Amino acid sequence: MNAEDKIRVRFAPSPTGYIHVGNARTALFNWLFSRQKGGVFVLRVEDTDIERSREEYERNLIQDLRWLGLDWDEGPDVGGNFGPYRQSERLELYHKYASQLLEEGKAYYCFCTAEELESQRQAALTEGRMPVYSGKCRNISLDEARRRLDTGQEGAIRLKVPDEGLVRFEDLVRGPVEFDLKLIGDPIIVRSNGMPAYNYAVVIDDALMNITHVIRGEDHVSNTPRQILLYRALGWKLPVFAHLSMVMGKDNTRLSKRHGATSVDQFRRDGILAEALCNYLSFLGWSPPEGNEVLRLEELVRLFDLGRVSRSAAIFDYEKLHWLNRQHIKLLGPEKKLELALPYLQEAGLVDKELSPAQQDWLKKAVEALIEGVDKFSGLPQKFSLLFEFEPEKMDEEARQIIQADSARKVLTAFIQKTKELKEFNYEIFATITGAIKKETGIKGRDLFHPLRVALTARASGLELDKFIPLVEEGARLAFPRKIKSCLERIREISSFLQL
């Protein structure tokens, strides 16, 4: 493969807010495609909308993309041979090709006012036609246009579009697509304020950056014919297009905040693993040919196939994301789990910033035990309350009922009796005592253990007791901001609470 055949793709977001999962999915697909084909992935920032673009958003964007595990070969932060990679820094380029089109008579100045255009559009809409620019300024000569410009009149530049014919292109995911030119008016390529319009800037940039495959959202399909016309007017080679379907919320409307978290940043803060998010995002419109669905980035790179991408919109399913997150968490080692869990535990005030080796060691075990079944790391402090909290008064209804049964009272009376004189406690002692109670009372299984669980945790469910007891005993000897009560302390409290 020589350099000219090299696949080049790009992700071109506008820095107008936090990066959304829909865009993240587009970025991911571009990245997967480029990495699999040994191509080049370009990051380009489309900041021509001065009103909405903010520099800090560009930083967030880069941060989010990097967190996801994506990297780029060229971009505003890493440079490259086809820069600059910010549209706001490419203005001369846009002007150069606009003048060329003007000179060649392929574009012209338009002096129609916004109001004028708006009323024409409304008229078309009410008559049931597609709003198409009338072409009113088409015949104004360049010389005259320049004279008007000199007098201070403002003008935009439009591309001349043939009145009839068909624009056809082969979309890598959607197959052949065609548009009737009658329904496409002369698009503005440079606004009267001198800024390039989106449809124009992308073409200039994609072409000049040698982009071979344009992979983007479905919302761009109807822009594609205009862009193709521009490529033709400039005599440039067309890239291959691939339009990805949209990502929807549960009610089949565009995914928005009201459906839950939607920005990459938010998922990160919630404690969703980047690999899990990528794994899930890749399943929005694509599926691996066979087998395991829990896939790491390298595996996605290996398996990804644009030809297998679905044409219909996909609904974002938080349940499946959470399932994948749990699967990816399981793949992590204890050290890594602790590292990721710590910020959440610190924020919840459960642990200090500085930890003794003994605390670290204990926390590692605790995280390992409690992380099971947790959807995301932000749910961990809640799980930790099993260890850090013991408040019989706050027991829920289920726990109360368990403890109130006749057999439960018997079990607990005996248990409290047998632990009264104890100075220390551990799982072996617990097992011996429960064995004795079983013998004396004949109570066993669920009836025996469930009340004891409630007595020790003030909850109806939680860790297995053979894991719970050693963990609490060890934890109780450590100095945490909130002290962990030992089993014996718990037994004493529950005893007085139940007046047994």
For the bound state, the minimum distance from the C-beta of residue 82 to RNA, rounded and expressed in Å, comes to 18
Burial 185-200 (b: 16+ CB within 10 A, else e): bbbbbbebeebbbbbb
Nearer of residues 448 and 476 to RNA, judged by Cβ: 448
> Would you count residue 323 as binding RNA (CB under 7 A)?
yes
**Where in 217-246 is the site for RNA (CB under 7 A)?**
218-223, 245-246
# of chain residues touching RNA (CB under 7 A): 83
For the bound state, the minimum distance from the C-beta of residue 202 to RNA, rounded and expressed in Å, comes to 8
> Would you count residue 497 as binding RNA (CB under 7 A)?
no
Round to whole Å and give the CA distance between 143 and 112.
Answer: 17
Q: Which residues contact 60 (CB under 8 A, 6 or more apart)?
A: 15, 18, 19, 265
Taking CB under 7 A as the binding criterion, the range among 71-79, 143-151, 197-205, 358-366 that sits at the site for RNA is 197-205
For the bound state, the minimum distance from the C-beta of residue 67 to RNA, rounded and expressed in Å, comes to 22
> Would you count residue 86 as binding RNA (CB under 7 A)?
no
> Would you count residue 314 as binding RNA (CB under 7 A)?
yes
3-state secondary structure of 213: strand
| Active-site residue, from 96, 257, 336, 394 | 257
Which helix (H) or strand (E) covers residue 496, if one does? helix 487-498
> Would you count residue 93 as binding RNA (CB under 7 A)?
no
Taking CB under 7 A as the binding criterion, the range among 207-215, 234-242, 269-277, 307-315 that sits at the site for RNA is 307-315
> Would you count residue 398 as binding RNA (CB under 7 A)?
no
For the bound state, the minimum distance from the C-beta of residue 356 to RNA, rounded and expressed in Å, comes to 29
Give DSSP secondary structure letters for 240-301. EEEEEPPEE-TTSSB--GGGS--BHHHHHHHT--HHHHHHHHHTSS---SSS-----HHHHH
**Where in 15-74 is the site for RNA (CB under 7 A)?**
46, 48-49, 52
Binding mask 428-467 for RNA (x = CB under 7 A): ---x--xx--x-----xxx-xxx--x-------xxxxx--
For the bound state, the minimum distance from the C-beta of residue 425 to RNA, rounded and expressed in Å, comes to 17
Give DSSP secondary structure letters for 289-336. SSS-----HHHHHHH--GGG--SS-EE--HHHHHHHHHHHHHHS-HHH
Among 86, 174, 296, 365, binds RNA (CB under 7 A): 174
Round to whole Å and give the CA distance between 284 and 312.
Answer: 10
Taking CB under 7 A as the binding criterion, the range among 34-42, 125-133, 266-274, 469-477 that sits at the site for RNA is 125-133
> Would you count residue 332 as binding RNA (CB under 7 A)?
no
Whether 257 is catalytic: yes
Nearer of residues 56 and 115 to RNA, judged by Cβ: 115
Beta bridge partners of 188: 158
3-state secondary structure of 342: helix
Nearer of residues 152 and 445 to RNA, judged by Cβ: 445
Whole-number CA gyration radius for the chain: 32
Round to whole Å and give the CA distance between 198 and 206.
Answer: 12
> Would you count residue 489 as binding RNA (CB under 7 A)?
no
CB < 8 Å & 24+ apart, contacts of 396-403: 396/459, 396/460, 398/460, 399/454, 399/458, 399/459, 399/460, 402/450, 402/451, 402/454, 402/460, 403/451, 403/454, 403/455, 403/498
Taking CB under 7 A as the binding criterion, the range among 286-294, 295-303, 348-356, 485-493 that sits at the site for RNA is 286-294
Among 193, 393, 397, 423, binds RNA (CB under 7 A): 193
The catalytic residues are 257
